[in-house]
């Protein structure tokens, strides 16, 4: 089937995200989550699908309806699936037998339930629940008359009182509870004014691994420690020593070891995550990758996948070896590790592995893979040979219908002799001998990584006739500790130079790019950098800044990370106004000559909208060419998981602005 048309922004409604694969211990039964976007509901719909991987059977849908069904987890004997669904109006945990029948609700908590974890004998489930001071597991929800709802003030006595993910602090804390599947009785295991994050259940059934920050002053603490929670006594045993941030705790099958992913914050939030193992019998914690530059986990940036899950260390039956995801030089890959410190790649290719499951097997894994022209599918990996066999073909019909632009990898030396890496995407209808405009895309973070993955925004721009350049400037993950740390204290310095030198490189090496028709865009840190660029060069004909930062002085205190992010990243506190202002794009507003479109979400608490308001008014006050677009009821994640119609509006605003000023 020949591709018949270019991709459009509203093709989001035709694409489906395939994520969170879970392979049963028998190595053959696979459950996963498929998410689509309902145009009618203007919302996301997720359901569970099953595949027998040994037979390579066709996927069979196991849940139905227009709800969000997700987080499937196999029971130890492989006969049941626990999952989370909002079919009742709130997220609750359900159990479904693998031989069919209706899913049965297991929880009915006032604020919902999440994160199901099976007990080793399969008779209980542990889960997370959010509770306020006067609430318990059996609290009944009061019916609210929204029309006559009485407004009340929000009392604030802490600095961490809002979050871009959940909004304003509501007096609730995340607790751990268990439910008996036979009797239906629920029991709360933690309490107090701290959040407890459930990780896993010990093979002997005696302990739950949980993480929490139990510091007295949480406003000044940025830790996450591992604790063992005794299921009977509810006592906590602290495993890590309050020096860093740890999570993804998984037990070896014999219960002797606990694998962790974390770091000790040596470089604040720019520190590479490493592999740690706690020896339960010896009461000893050891870092297995202390001398490695490998970044453990998936830190790739994308705008399509829904419900991806970090698997942590996946132990094998031998209690000695394990598999994990790692971020490396523009790819995420599967690695094999062992207690001896042995590390080597089990799947190393030009791709983004955003899901991994083994069921505890040594030689077999299922991976979720995306590439620039592959939105995302599941593959069966034969570990010894590295062979991949495709299991799902969810987006095959779509990818045959539309023209997707491929990428060419680029590598070059910066002027100060650093290795830089990125990609150039040709226009979808590229023809030899033609000249095309170029859009420079800049990722957020800044500690993230562009990767060999599907990016809907890039594809829609390529379909409009643009070449798209995206690179990982210093500050990006995937290239070692020195590289990722280099941006701290130097925003607008060598990171800016890296991006400009990337533009110079492609202009020198690709003759199809029209140097007189250049555009630039980016979000979050990429929005900051877009603002910085237009205040320092006029080489771009148009720019679009998204969810950006323009003023580090006013950023202090208004962001959910603002009171510490300045210190970590700009290396300046509020008293150092001179340094904060030096790194603020707003300082250079008089130099802006590039037409600038400003896109921002009303409820962005990460980069609050006042940052966009200041920039817009400053530009208009100086008679600069600009437009300001505010997206209602949206937060910092608009481009990735916001309301679908607004995501499409955003893509159209970007393309239309460039079409007006560049084409």
Active site residues: 524, 636
How many CB atoms sit inside 10 A of residue 495's CB? 21
Nearest to 263 by CA among 300, 222, 227, 228: 222
337 in Cβ contact with 324 (< 8 Å):
yes
Q: Which residues of 30-66 are buried (b: 16+ CB within 10 A; e: fewer)?
A: bbbbbbbbeeeeeebbbbbbbbebeeeeebeebbeee
Cα torsion 547, 550, 551, 555 to 10°: value is 10
Do β-strands 69-74 and 80-85 pair in parallel, antiparallel, or remain unpaired?
antiparallel
C-alpha to C-alpha distance for 222 and 202, rounded to whole angstroms: 27
Number of separate helices (H) and strands (E) present in the chain: 11, 41
How far is 13 from 455, CA to CA, in rounded Å? 15
Of 437, 443, 441, 505, residue with least CA distance to 467: 437
Task: Give me the DSSP letters along 605-627.
Answer: SSS-THHHHHHHHHHHHTT--EE
Sign of CA dihedral 502, 507, 510, 515: positive
Q: Do 251 and 209 contact (CB within 8 A), yes or no?
A: yes
Contact (Cβ atoms closer than 8 angstroms) between residue 262 and residue 246: yes
Query: Do 627 and 598 meet the contact criterion of CB atoms below 8 Å apart?
Result: yes
If one counts every other C-beta atom within 10 angstroms of the C-beta of residue 137, the result is 18
Q: In sequence order, what are the residues at sequence separation of 6 or more whose Cβ sits closer than 8 angstroms to the Cβ of residue 166?
A: none
Query: Two tokens at 279?
Result: 């020896």
3-state secondary structure of 502: helix
Residues in the chain: 663
The candidate with the shortest Cα–Cα distance to 495, out of 583, 565, 590, 589, is 583
Residue located via tokens 């600095």: 159
Angle made by CA atoms 562, 530, 626, in degrees to the nearest 5 = 105
Q: Assign residue 547 a region: left if phi > 0, alpha if psi is -120 to 50, beta otherwise? A: left
Q: Which helix (H) or strand (E) holds 176?
A: strand 173-180
Contacts 24+ apart (CB under 8 A), 361-365: 361/23, 361/27, 361/316, 361/317, 362/316, 362/317, 362/318, 362/321, 364/23, 364/27, 364/53, 365/23, 365/314, 365/323, 365/334
| Tokens coding 137 | 């597991």
Question: What distance in Å separates the CA atoms of residue 180 and residue 187, rounded to the nearest whole number?
Answer: 9
Residue 312 DSSP SS3: coil
Dihedrals phi, psi of 502, to nearest 5 degrees:
-65, -40
């Amino acid at each position: 089937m020949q591709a018949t048309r270019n991709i459009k922004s509203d093709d989001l409604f035709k694409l489906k995200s395939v994520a969170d694969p879970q392979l049963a211990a028998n190595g053959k039964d696979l459950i996963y989550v498929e998410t689509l976007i309902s145009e009618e509901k203007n919302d996301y719909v997720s359901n569970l699908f099953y595949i027998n991987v040994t037979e390579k059977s066709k996927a069979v849908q196991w849940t139905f309806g227009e709800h969000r069904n997700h987080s499937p987890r196999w029971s130890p004997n492989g006969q049941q699936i626990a999952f989370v669904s909002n079919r009742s109006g709130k997220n609750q945990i359900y159990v479904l037998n693998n031989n069919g029948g209706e899913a049965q609700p297991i929880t009915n908590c006032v604020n919902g339930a999440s994160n199901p974890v099976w007990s080793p004998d399969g008779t209980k489930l542990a889960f997370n629940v959010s509770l306020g001071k006067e609430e318990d597991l059996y609290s009944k929800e009061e019916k609210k008359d929204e029309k006559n709802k009485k407004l009340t003030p929000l009392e604030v006595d802490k600095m961490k009182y809002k979050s871009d993910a959940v909004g304003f602090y509501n007096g609730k804390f995340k607790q751990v509870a268990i439910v008996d599947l036979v009797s239906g009785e629920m029991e709360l295991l933690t309490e107090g004014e701290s959040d407890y994050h459930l990780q896993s259940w010990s093979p002997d059934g005696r302990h739950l691994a949980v993480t929490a920050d139990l510091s007295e002053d949480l406003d000044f603490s940025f830790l996450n420690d591992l604790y063992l929670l005794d299921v009977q006594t509810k006592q906590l045993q602290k495993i890590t020593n309050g020096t860093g941030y740890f999570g993804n705790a998984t037990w070896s099958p014999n219960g002797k070891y606990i694998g962790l992913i974390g770091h000790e914050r040596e470089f604040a939030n720019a520190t590479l995550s490493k592999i740690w193992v706690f020896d339960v019998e010896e009461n000893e914690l050891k870092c297995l990758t202390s001398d490695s530059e490998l970044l453990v986990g998936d830190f790739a940036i994308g705008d399509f996948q829904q419900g991806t899950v970090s698997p942590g260390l996946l132990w094998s039956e031998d209690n000695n070896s394990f598999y994990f995801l790692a971020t490396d030089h523009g790819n995420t890959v599967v690695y094999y590790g062992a207690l001896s410190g042995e590390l080597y790649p089990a799947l190393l290719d030009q791709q983004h592995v955003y899901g991994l499951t083994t069921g505890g097997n040594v030689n077999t894994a299922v991976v979720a893979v995306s590439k620039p022209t592959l939105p995302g599918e599941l593959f069966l990996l034969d570990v010894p040979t590295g062979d991949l066999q495709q299991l799902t073909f969810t987006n095959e019909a779509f990818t045959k219908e539309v023209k997707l632009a491929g990428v060419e990898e680029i590598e070059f030396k910066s002027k100060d002799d650093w290795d830089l890496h990125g990609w150039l995407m040709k226009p979808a209808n590229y023809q030899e001998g033609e000249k095309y405009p170029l859009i420079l895309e800049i990722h957020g973070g800044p500690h993230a990584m562009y990767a060999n993955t599907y990016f809907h925004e890039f594809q829609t721009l390529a379909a409009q006739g643009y070449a798209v350049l995206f690179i990982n400037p210093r500050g990006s993950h995937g290239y070692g500790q020195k590289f990722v740390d280099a941006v701290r204290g130097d925003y607008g310095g060598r990171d800016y130079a890296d991006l400009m030198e990337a533009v110079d490189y492609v202009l020198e090496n690709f003759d199809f790019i029209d140097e007189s028709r250049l555009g630039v865009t980016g979000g979050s840190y990429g929005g900051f950098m877009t603002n910085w660029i237009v205040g320092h060069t006029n080489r771009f004909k148009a720019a679009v800044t998204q969810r950006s930062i323009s003023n580090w002085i006013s950023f202090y205190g208004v962001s959910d990370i603002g009171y510490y992010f300045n210190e970590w990243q700009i290396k300046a506190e509020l008293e150092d106004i001179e340094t904060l202002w030096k790194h603020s794009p707003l300082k250079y507003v008089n130099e802006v000559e590039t037409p600038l479109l400003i896109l921002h979400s009303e409820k962005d608490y990460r980069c609050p909208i006042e940052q966009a308001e200041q920039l817009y008014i400053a530009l208009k006050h100086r008679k600069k060419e600009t437009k300001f677009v505010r997206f209602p009821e949206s937060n910092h994640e608009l481009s990735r998981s916001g309301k679908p119609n607004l995501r499409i509006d955003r893509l159209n605003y970007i393309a239309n602005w460039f079409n007006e000023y560049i084409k």
